Amino acid sequence: MTRSASLYRYRLPMDTGVILRGRRLTERIGYIAELREGARIGRGEIAPLPGFSVECADQAGQQSLHALKRWVAGQDIMACARWPSVAFGLSMAALELQGELPITARYQTVPLLSHESVNAGAEGAAANLSVPADCRFAKLKLGRGSPQQDAINVSALLKAHPSLMLRLDANCAWSLPQAREFARHLAPAHVSRIAFIEEPCQRPADCLTFSKETGLALAWDETLQAAVRQPDFTLDTDFRLDSLSGANTLVIKPTLIGSVQRCIALIRQAQQTGTKAVISASLESSLGLTQLARLSCWLLPGSVPGLDTLSLFRSQLELTWPGSTLPVKLLQQQTRVWHS
Q: Which is closer to Mg ion, CB of 150 or CB of 198?
A: 198
Neighbour tally for 308: CB within 10 Å: 17
Find the residue with minimal CB distance to Mg ion: 221
Q: Which is closer to Mg ion, CB of 37 or CB of 308?
A: 308
Q: Spell out the long-range contacts of 79-83 with Cβ–Cβ below 8 A and sequence spacing 24 or more.
A: 81/259, 83/48, 83/53, 83/54, 83/55, 83/59
Residue 221 annotated as part of some ligand binding site:
yes
H-helix segments, 215-321? 222-229, 254-257, 260-272, 286-299
Q: Which is closer to Mg ion, CB of 198 or CB of 206?
A: 198
Contact residues: Mg ion, CB under 5 A: 169, 198, 221
Least separation, in Å, of the C-beta of 310 and Mg ion? 17
Least separation, in Å, of the C-beta of 181 and Mg ion? 20
Least separation, in Å, of the C-beta of 171 and Mg ion? 6
Beta strands in 144-295 (DSSP E): 165-169, 194-198, 218-220, 249-252, 276-279
CB contact set of 19 (below 8 Å; sequence gap of 6+): 25
Tell me, yes or no, if 212 is annotated catalytic.
Answer: no
Least separation, in Å, of the C-beta of 33 and Mg ion? 26
Residue 317: its H or E element = strand 316-317
Short-list 307, 271, 315, CA closest to 291: 307
- 167 near 188, Cβ under 8 Å? no
Which member of 139, 159, 212, 253 is catalytic? Answer: 253
Give me the phi and psi of 178, to 5 degrees please: -65, -40
Q: Which is closer to Mg ion, CB of 77 or CB of 170?
A: 170
Supply angle C-alpha 66, 50, 238, rounded to 5.
65
Short-list 205, 299, 211, CA closest to 252: 299
Tell me, yes or no, if 141 is annotated catalytic.
Answer: yes
Residue 236 annotated as part of some ligand binding site:
no
Residue 169 annotated as part of some ligand binding site:
yes
Q: With 0-12 CB in 10 A as exposed, 13-18 as middle and 19+ as buried, what is 19?
A: exposed
- Cα separation, 168 vs 308, in Å, equals 14
Q: Which is closer to Mg ion, CB of 93 or CB of 110?
A: 110
Short-list 62, 45, 6, CA closest to 260: 45
Q: Which is closer to Mg ion, CB of 198 or CB of 318?
A: 198
Sequence length of the chain is 340
Least separation, in Å, of the C-beta of 2 and Mg ion? 43
Least separation, in Å, of the C-beta of 270 and Mg ion? 16
Just list the catalytic residues.
141, 253
Task: Please give the annotated binding residues for Mg(2+), written as ranges.
Answer: 169, 198, 221
